Amino acid sequence: MSSRILAEHYEVQRQLGKQTGRQTLLARDLQTQELVVIKQLFLGSDFEWQDLKLFEREAETLKALSHPAIPRYLDYLEIDEPDSKSFALVQTYVKGKTLQEHLRSGRTFSESEVKELAKSLLEILSYLHKQNPPVIHRDIKPSNILLHSRSGHSVGQVYLVDFGSVQNQAAKFGGTITVVGTYGYMAPEQFGGRSVPASDLYGLGATLIYLVTGLHPTELSQQDLKIQFADRVAPLNPDVIDWLEWMTEPSLSKRLSSAEEALQSLKNPRPSNKNPMVVRQYSDIKLTKTSDFIEIITPPQGVGFGLIVLLLSWIAANIRLLLEFVEGRTYPVLNLISIIWLVTVVAMFLFALFRELRLRIDRQQISYSSHLLGLRWNHSKPAPRQEICQLEIKQIGYKVSQMIIQAGNQQYRLGAKQGLTKSEIEWLATELSQWLGLKIKRTFTKRGFMRLYI
């Protein structure tokens, strides 16, 4: 292929890509000796005039643009060869790897790199959208973004390529609806053939979500058409998460409307009043929740009758030594059993008076821990939030209930052992059900017999 010459002007070096009816080549301009990229569209059996219109529009658009981060238009050719006829768009060659290639090679991007990349691309989009009429790329995705000359902590030079889906807002196809773009990165309005500058913002937001999660947008769940990704980005700043959610709002009226607005919002995050904290109390239980987390704090159970009896038993067993100590006649010398007994009683009093139990679920995980005088320890190993699969209330007899949260192989239990009444369990389960979006599974156990209710 290296000896092939196109239009007596361009020496083909190698093929960069190929799709049905078209290919992309790396070639050398024999006059300037510069490397160029040639995109060819063939007139074959699968040729459609719609493809040619988009191809010509890409050429006309690039011809009118002049930006250092966009490949420059060089030439447009009609090529007649013995076995084929094609159209060719020639543009400057940009050396670098696409974001898609970086991701496939295992490269990860830090928060600062993601923000740097976002700023660079928003500046490019701002330039495009300020054209008269505005130029809308319509296919922002990792494979259409190139990075070159990465150095130190810089993400490198950012380029936006492949304007094959471009549209200006004055362009129409004779009343027909044209849907172009890539599934997963297309804003909802594009499925109806409508594209506006905010459509490019959606594509950029979905691309950045791919960067921070390592997952294609179609691999992430959706709720009311919103991409659910927050639980996959543990170290990411909540302001950046909020900004990405804003960029990918399905509704145009709620989405950021311009590249300038998006850039300004990235630098100056909006107030977090969209995520108010709700604090509720039932009996002595405190429940705190936002859209980011829910936390249940169970207070100390207090000193019960059994603990008082245990303390009085110890005093009775050591009354003689204690009286001698009070009268100042001697220092009590306790045997090992009495010491262990005393330490146990003191520890139980501390637990009864000061220990709090905290069940917390946030974007990343579920944890269940004890807190005592500044100390903290887990009762169960924390589990990833996305592994929570079941919320169950198990009624034991007629007066005692237990709530069980199943997360993978882990179970988190709250019930009578933690001093919770049946009504408190019902209240907590209802709150968790609403927050997690899980139905409550109910089981009834009596004398070994179990019936299941959903």
Spell 60-99 as b/e; 16+ CB within 10 A means b.
Answer: bbbeebeeebbbebbbbbeeeeeeeebbbbbbebbebbbb
Domains and CATH numbers, the chain: 5-92 (3.30.200.20), 97-274 (1.10.510.10), 278-298+357-453 (2.30.29), 305-354 (no CATH)
pLDDT per position as a tens digit, 131-146: 988 999 989 999 999 9
The pLDDT score that the predictor gives to residue 245 is: 94
Length of the chain: 454
pLDDT of residue 447: 47
Active-site residue among 29, 51, 83, 139?
A: 139
> Measured in Å, how far apart are the chain's first and last C-alpha atoms?
67
What are the residues whose beta carbons fall under 8 Å from the beta carbon of 422, sequence distance 6 or more?
A: 395, 399, 400, 401
Alpha-helical (H) ranges within 214-304 are 238-247, 259-267
Whole-model pTM: value is 0.61
Pairing outcome for strands 388-396 and 440-446:
parallel
Q: Which residues pair with 367 in a beta bridge?
A: 360
Beta-bridge partners for 97:
147
| Dist CA 55 CA 173 (whole Å) | 14
Whether 381 and 410 have beta carbons less than 8 Å apart is answered as: yes
180-189 own/partner pairs: CB under 8 Å, 24+ apart: 180/54, 180/138, 180/139, 181/138, 181/139, 182/139, 182/141, 183/218, 184/141, 184/216, 184/217, 184/218, 185/139, 185/140, 185/141, 185/217, 187/250, 187/252, 187/255, 188/225, 188/250, 189/252
Instruction: Look at residues 242, 350, 256, 255 and name the one whose alpha carbon lies nearest to residue 300.
Output: 350
Q: Cβ atoms within 10 A of the Cβ of 173, count? A: 12
* 71 backbone dihedrals φ, ψ, rounded to 5°: -55, 140
Bridge partners, 372 (sequence order): 375
Say what the pLDDT of residue 321 is: 65
pLDDT at 323: 65
139 catalytic per annotation? yes
Q: Enumerate residues 6+ apart whose C-beta is below 8 A from 264.
A: none
CB 300 within 8 A of CB 351: yes
Q: Which residue has the tokens 């940009």?
A: 94
Residues of the chain short of pLDDT 70, as ranges, are 1-3, 151-153, 167-181, 234, 272-277, 302-304, 307, 320-335, 351, 398, 446-454
362-382 in b/e burial notation, b at 16+ Cβ within 10 A? Answer: bbbbbbbeeeeeeeeeeebeb
Task: Kindly state the DSSP code that residue 364 receives in the 8-state scheme.
Answer: S
